[in-house]
Amino acid sequence: MLQLAEKSTQEFMLSTETFNQVNEILRDLVTSTRSDFALFCDANGNPITHHGKQHVVNLSGLSALAAGNFAATWEMARVIGEKEGFKFIFQEGERRNLYLCNVGFNFLLAIIFDKAVALGLVRIFANKTVENLKQVLDKAAQAEKKASDFLDAEFGLLLGKELDKSFNL
Amino acid sequence: MFVNWALQEVNLKIVYYGPGLGGKTTNLEYIYHKIDPSLRGDLITLKTREERTLYFDFLQLEVGRIKGMKPKFNLYTIPGQVYYAYSRKIILRGVDGIVFVADSQADRMTENLDSLMDLEQNLIGDGHTLENFPWILQYNKRDLPRIIPVSEMNAKLNFHGVPAIEAVAVRGIGVLETLKTAIHGVVGHVQKVI
């Protein structure tokens, strides 16, 4: 199930061990580049983990937008004949910049950094980070549990009750 | 489905599909306003200047912990207009379940059918079919004059006998029932395939 870096799968299981390794890599990236924030999410728009200052509150929104943006940009590359896609997306703001790149086929890395930080520096460390993340994901330990450990009939029943409560049905 | 064991999160993606101006965004807007803010994120909408969905709308919902896990439902809409075909393909990536919002008005059946065929083609491209994938129908705009009877809607659109819910999304009628049915369909399907 953990063919994370290159294959498109419908179902991902991320182990705690892999999660912790990814966290460490993000921490190194943020420290080395003096970036504000780094987000690791999947290409379907699910946030996985992040490191840095907490001014980004809507992580699920940022992940969904990053995934949509990256997919559209990938297709733009294809339309103009760049079969391997673009290497990264860079957006320049008044105070902060955004750097977005893919990690293999299934994951994305977003880095938010201050205008004072050089893009070249972020680019060098982002490339290194992508390689480190790919290595971790390629060697990822099997997740400690399977979805079938919790997704059973009882889960469906309890979920129904929770939804009724949340929806006031 | 994405399971993050470290955070004990289960992420499921549900996409609202259907023809343009059928009420997909209206469904999400109602859910956004109705649900306790502590259980949902911000509603993100990418609209054109004419207030039409350009790329997608996005809303994340949570419910309390279940068997130690935190289920999160990521709801997306697609742009219904024919010319946004590629956006639809992108948004369908990794989808766990579909709500097809059909417009009940008599003069919109062709658009419903075109959109449903477009959905099937996109699912086939991802290795699924409407037969083996969890999807449900919502017959929207049931309050308008000149609507098609449910029996006829069923005959034309519901050839796989999936759950079909009547709705008036602008008034919230049937919106939460639709979502709950879709979530149950997704969870039931995941239970079958894992």
Assess A54–B contact: CB distance below 8 Å, yes or no: no
- Using CA atoms in the order B155, B159, B162, B163, what is the torsion angle rounded to 10 degrees? -10
The per-residue pLDDT for A117 is 96
Rounded to whole angstroms, the Cα distance separating A87 from A127 reads 10
Q: Which residues of B touch A160 (CB under 8 A)?
A: 180, 184
Order of strands, sheet of A107-114, starting from the edge strand that comes earlier in the sequence: A47-52, A37-42, A107-114, A96-103, A89-92
Q: Which residues of A touch B191 (CB under 8 A)?
A: 148, 151-153, 155-156
CA-to-CA dists, residue B16 to A36, B101, B173, B192, angstroms: 35, 7, 16, 23
Among the residue ranges A139-148, B4-13, B28-37, B101-110, the one predicted with the least confidence is A139-148
Rounded to whole angstroms, the Cα distance separating B34 from A167 reads 8
Q: Are B38 and B66 spatial neighbours (Cβ–Cβ below 8 Å)? A: no
Q: Which positions 77-116 of A are in contact with B (Cβ < 8 Å)?
A: none
| Alpha-carbon distance A118 to nearest alpha carbon in chain B (angstroms) | 30
Query: Closest Cα to residue A160, out of B182, B11, B4, B99?
Result: B182
DSSP 8-state assignment for residue A145: S
B6–A146 CB contact, under 8 Å:
no
The per-residue pLDDT for A141 is 65
pTM beyond 0.80: the answer is yes
- Using CA atoms in the order B157, B160, B164, B170, what is the torsion angle rounded to 10 degrees? -40
Assess A13–B contact: CB distance below 8 Å, yes or no: yes
The per-residue pLDDT for A78 is 82
Instruction: Dihedral sign for Cα B144, B78, A65, A99, please.
Output: negative
| Alpha-carbon distance B176 to nearest alpha carbon in chain A (angstroms) | 7
pLDDT tens figures, A22-76: 999 999 999 999 999 999 998 888 899 999 987 666 888 899 899 888 888 887 8
Mean pLDDT of chain B: 91
| ipTM confidence score | 0.82
pLDDT tens figures, A88-136: 999 999 999 999 999 988 899 999 999 999 999 999 999 999 999 999 9
Mutating which of A8, A41, A46, A158 best tests the B interface, going by the most B Cβ atoms within 10 A?
A46
Rounded to whole angstroms, the Cα distance separating A59 from A72 reads 20
B2–A60 CB contact, under 8 Å:
no
Q: Which residues of A touch B55 (CB under 8 A)?
A: 68, 72
Q: Which residues of B touch A147 (CB under 8 A)?
A: 1, 3, 10, 190, 194
What mean pLDDT do residues B93-106 have?
Answer: 95
pLDDT tens figures, B7-32: 999 999 999 999 999 999 999 999 99
A64–B10 CB contact, under 8 Å:
no
A64–B58 CB contact, under 8 Å:
yes
A46–B74 CB contact, under 8 Å:
yes
Assess A41–B contact: CB distance below 8 Å, yes or no: no
B67–A150 CB contact, under 8 Å:
yes
Q: Which residues of B touch A46 (CB under 8 A)?
A: 2, 4, 11, 13, 74
A147–B3 CB contact, under 8 Å:
yes
